[in-house]
Amino acid sequence: MPINPDLPITPLTQQPTLREAVTQSLYAAIVSGALDEGLLYSAPVLGAALGVSATPVREAMMDLSREGFVERVKNKGFRITGLTKRAIREITEIRLLIEPIIVAGLAGRIPASALSELNGVANRALASAEAADLPGFQLADRDFHSEILRHHGNEELVKLATNLHMRTRLTAVKSLNDSDLLIDHAREHVEIVRLLESGDSSKAKHLMGRHVSQSGRGGSEEREESPNATAL
């Protein structure tokens, strides 16, 4: 498609910007637990750790705050968001109303080429789990669940469920990792693809229900945020 030079829009390039690179780095630090939930971090301190100025850190944090990973604390920095057990339970309850039913309806109906792509994502999650690569696992897990939902054909549902999934990412991944269940979780993805292929909707529904329930464990006690906790 020809570029229209009259439009004041910059063509996309493949080069990640400094802001994107910083966002990726901070995302990995949050998901892996290198940055603690509930603590405040200032942009200059994070910038110094990353070897960049505070500006791209602030920009990256604004992107991460839109995704719900951090919240801005005026004149202080950013707090890594955490979820209470209650919030995790409520989010898991919503996911359980959506994902098992969708997977049951899709069993035996996904074309072979799409199943093989799904299998690729499942294996990516498994490889990340085996390598204890938490950020990699989290992204592959997100992709796996959203890819399945996408086959149902309701984009709003994909957005809703993916957003819920990502909000529980930290506590869910940590609890799975703590109890050495990360690899089991990843293996269930492979099994879910197999059940989708064989067309066994009741087993697929049952397994997805167990899978989502398992990843919904964890979360902190019903504490309130401690506004003065700081890592500055």
| Residues near Zn ion, by CB under 5 A | 141
Burial class (CB in 10 A: 0-12, 13-18, 19+), 67: middle
Q: Which is nearer to Zn ion, 42 or 128 (CB)?
A: 128
**Smallest gap, in angstroms, from Cβ of residue 44 to Zn ion?**
37
Intra-chain end-to-end CA distance of the chain, in Å = 49
Query: Residue 16 carries which DSSP code?
Result: P
Residue 223: phi and psi, rounded to 5, are: -85, 155
**Furthest-apart CA pair in the chain: how many Å?**
57
Q: Which is nearer to Zn ion, 79 or 169 (CB)?
A: 169
Residue 202: phi and psi, rounded to 5, are: -75, -40
**Smallest gap, in angstroms, from Cβ of residue 145 to Zn ion?**
6
**Smallest gap, in angstroms, from Cβ of residue 90 to Zn ion?**
19
Q: Which is nearer to Zn ion, 58 or 169 (CB)?
A: 169
**Smallest gap, in angstroms, from Cβ of residue 172 to Zn ion?**
9
**Going by DSSP bridges, is the β-strand pair 77-80/70-73 parallel, antiparallel, or unpaired?**
antiparallel
Q: Which is nearer to Zn ion, 128 or 201 (CB)?
A: 128
